[in-house]
């Protein structure tokens, strides 16, 4: 009799688990989930979450709702991925996706193409709405680019399209959408809560009209949202602009504007100058203004105590990236400063190699040969690979 009761109890528990009304999340690897999707022809719903995210945890009752489960179990193969797991990051990287906040809802076709995304409010109706939109070929996020090209410009659409650009790492789309959005807004509304959130989450370009307004009205934002959050938001936008793909092609005038902007929001001017140093130098290289690149870097050298690795870095940078040899004497000077710091034998081998390169570029063949020979000897003593030394000495014969 006891065995029968235990068996009935276990059966009851199993039945209860089987009848759980919410979304049935697969616990198999993501590759298996997509295999099932291809077999069934269903799209895939992926919740990106973290077990330590309290907002994610608050969604559990919503995703367990019977109405939500009915839609998602009927229309999707569902899984959830922990953002902290390397396999999750590998999957996101393979799809070129960025996670701006958690939880993030992603919807894919069976071939792993993103068709929709959502940063949902925590309500049953909202989660159902996003799922319904994801299976509508005319309404889902995948159509946003073509809708934008056809002229759709409502404020809500532009916000969604800009966020889609962030999630898909399409910075060009994000900037275009947010510039259009900013031009639609009255400057009188730039400091309101909605546009403050847009600055925090969506604006990536320092030339955006809303950000330019912020830069010139910092006190208004400090008063409304606090000094530290204001500086943080402004700093993020300036730095994301500087180190973006487009930032790599900025002329020096734009880089100097960012440097001035960093100082304006309260970053120490010396810190701001350090951050823009390499972008400035590379911009001078692109403009074939070697003398200005040398002047900028030499000023940095003269006002800071550089380490041997730092001297090596800037010497290599100029030896390899400079458009002409006007910098060669200064590079030789930097190398000699580093040699005076008593570097290790390996570091000396690297430094003499760069010294030989600087002399070679500057047309001083005899000096280059001596430095190259010294580098070779040090490399041999330190049992380093000498192939580059052999190649260098061959060029100097």
Residue pLDDT, tens place only, 56-79: 999 999 999 999 999 999 999 999
Strands 77-82 and 25-26: parallel
- The HSE-up count of residue 307 (CA atoms within 13 Å, CB side) is 4
Question: 288 in helix, strand or coil?
Answer: coil
Cβ(185)–Cβ(169) below 8 Å: no
Whole-number average pLDDT of the chain: 94
* Mean pLDDT, residues 13-17: 41
In the structure, what pLDDT confidence band is assigned to residue 8 with cuts at 50, 70 and 90?
very low
Reported pTM = 0.87
C-alpha to C-alpha distances, 388 to 54, 355, 385, nearest whole angstrom: 54, 14, 8
Q: How far apart are CA 378 and CA 384, in angstroms?
A: 8
- Please, what's the b/e burial string for 133-166 (b: 16 or more CB within 10 A of its CB; e: otherwise)? bbbeeeebbbbbeeebeeeeeeeebbbbbbbbbb
Q: How far apart are CA 248 and CA 282, in angstroms?
A: 8
Question: 57 in helix, strand or coil?
Answer: helix
Per-residue pLDDT at 231: 98
83: alpha, beta or left? (left if phi > 0; alpha if psi -120 to 50): alpha
Q: How far apart are CA 256 and CA 390, in angstroms?
A: 42
C-alpha to C-alpha distances, 14 to 18, 19, 32, 68, 69, nearest whole angstrom: 6, 9, 24, 22, 18
* Mean pLDDT, residues 124-151: 98
C-alpha to C-alpha distances, 50 to 83, 108, 319, nearest whole angstrom: 6, 20, 46
Sequence-distant (≥ 6) Cβ neighbours of residue 362 within 8 angstroms: 325, 328, 329, 332
Is residue 223 predicted with pLDDT exceeding 50? yes
Is residue 15 predicted with pLDDT exceeding 50? no
Q: How far apart are CA 83 and CA 328, in angstroms?
A: 48
Beta bridge partners of residue 104, listed in sequence order: 48
Cβ(34)–Cβ(112) below 8 Å: yes
Q: Write out the two tokens for 89.
A: 């990051």
Strands 44-49 and 104-108: antiparallel
Q: How far apart are CA 32 and CA 43, in angstroms?
A: 13
Could you report the per-residue pLDDT of 27-54, keeping only the tens digit for each?
Answer: 999 999 999 999 999 999 999 999 999 9
Per-residue pLDDT at 397: 85
Cβ(28)–Cβ(61) below 8 Å: no
Is residue 7 predicted with pLDDT exceeding 70? no
Could you report the per-residue pLDDT of 74-115, keeping only the tens digit for each?
Answer: 999 999 999 999 999 999 999 999 999 999 999 999 999 999
Beta bridge partners of residue 379, listed in sequence order: none
Of 150 and 15, more confident: 150
Is residue 1 predicted with pLDDT exceeding 50? no
In the structure, what pLDDT confidence band is assigned to residue 19 with cuts at 50, 70 and 90?
low
Number of residues that make up the chain:
397
Cβ(268)–Cβ(275) below 8 Å: no
Is residue 220 predicted with pLDDT exceeding 90? yes
């Amino acid at each position: 009799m006891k065995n029968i009761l235990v068996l009935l109890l276990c059966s009851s528990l199993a039945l209860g688990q089987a009848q759980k009304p919410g979304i049935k999340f697969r616990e198999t690897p993501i590759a298996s989930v997509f295999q099932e999707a291809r077999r069934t022809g269903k799209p895939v719903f992926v919740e990106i979450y973290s077990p330590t995210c309290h907002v994610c945890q608050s969604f559990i009752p919503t995703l367990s709702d019977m109405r939500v489960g009915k839609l998602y179990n009927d229309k999707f193969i569902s899984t959830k991925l922990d953002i902290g797991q390397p396999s999750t990051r590998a999957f996101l990287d393979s799809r070129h996706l960025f996670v701006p906040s958690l939880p993030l809802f992603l919807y894919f076709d069976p071939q792993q193409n993103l068709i929709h995304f959502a940063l949902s409010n925590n309500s049953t109706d909202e989660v159902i709405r996003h799922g319904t939109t994801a299976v509508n070929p005319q309404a889902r996020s995948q159509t946003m680019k073509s809708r934008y090209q056809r002229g759709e410009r409502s404020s809500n659409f532009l916000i969604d399209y800009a966020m889609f650009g962030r999630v898909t790492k399409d910075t060009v789309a994000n900037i275009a959408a947010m510039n259009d959005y900013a031009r639609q807004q009255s400057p009188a509304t730039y400091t309101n809560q909605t546009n403050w959130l847009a600055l925090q989450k969506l604006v990536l370009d320092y030339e955006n009209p809303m950000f330019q307004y912020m830069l010139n009205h910092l006190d208004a934002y400090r008063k409304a949202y606090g000094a530290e959050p204001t500086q943080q938001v402004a700093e993020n936008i300036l730095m994301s602009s500087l180190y973006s793909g487009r930032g790599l092609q900025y002329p020096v005038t734009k880089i100097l504007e960012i440097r001035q902007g960093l100082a304006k929001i309260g970053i120490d001017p010396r810190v701001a100058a350090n951050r823009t140093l390499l972008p400035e130098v590379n911009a001078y290289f692109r403009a074939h203004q070697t003398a200005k690149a040398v002047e900028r870097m030499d000023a940095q050298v003269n006002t800071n105590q550089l380490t041997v690795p730092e001297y090596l870095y800037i010497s290599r940078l100029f030896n390899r990236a400079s458009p002409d040899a006007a910098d060669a004497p200064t590079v030789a000077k930097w190398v000699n400063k580093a040699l005076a710091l008593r570097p290790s034998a390996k570091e000396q081998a690297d430094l003499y190699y760069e010294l030989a390169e600087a002399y070679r570029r500057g047309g001083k063949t005899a000096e280059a040969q001596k430095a190259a020979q010294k580098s070779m000897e040090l490399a041999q003593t330190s049992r380093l690979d000498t192939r580059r030394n052999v190649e260098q000495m061959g060029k100097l014969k």
